[in-house]
Amino acid sequence: MTRGIRQTEAMGRRGPAPKVLALRVLEGDRQAKINAASRGPVPEQTGPEAPSVFSDAQRQLWDRTVAMLTSIGLPVYRADSCRLVSYVYAEWTVQELIRRINETGLLLRGSNGEPRENPLIRVQERADARATALGREFGIMPAARSRLLP
């Protein structure tokens, strides 16, 4: 145990991350759990705007993401904007890196002429892992959508 800090504080919360109320309702959670979750803070009902620093491609991805979430019954609130910015940027990064990998190839020549893996592949894999983790929070990933009620 760390001196002055309780072990649970040093390690963080255990178990799966909590889900937003709308996702719990769509997944068909038990009514008692839904009622307990609904006692939390209620975010502002207006949807977030795409950041002004986004490029046109990023803004299009933002609009598609917000429209997709809304169409499956998951409202996006202004309070979600920071996480949504991170998700859209991670997804855009993945797309941009895939485009660059396609241009340069999967293999590059090393200093001695031997073939080696394109270093952009590792960067793309990390960005994809980040996008997947953030997408899971919003219910965007296929596994998260499969749990939604028909």
Say what the pLDDT of residue 1 is: 47
The 8 Å CB, 24+ separation contacts for 12-19 are: 17/137
Say what the pLDDT of residue 129 is: 95
Mean pLDDT of 6-30: 61
Residue linked to tokens 């859209």: 88
Higher-confidence position of 37 and 122: 122
Listed in sequence order, the DSSP H helices in the chain are: 7-11, 21-27, 31-37, 56-71, 81-104, 120-138, 142-146
The 8 Å CB, 24+ separation contacts for 108-116 are: none
Percent with pLDDT over 70 in the chain: 66
Say what the pLDDT of residue 46 is: 63
Higher-confidence position of 17 and 25: 17
| Mean of pLDDT over the chain | 79
Cα–Cα distance list, 138 to 4, 15, 41, 74, 116 (Å): 35, 18, 18, 8, 37
DSSP 45: S
Mean pLDDT of 132-137: 87
- Give 102's pLDDT tier (boundaries 50, 70, 90): very high
Q: Is the per-residue pLDDT at 73 higher than 80? A: no
Residue 54: strand, helix, or coil: coil
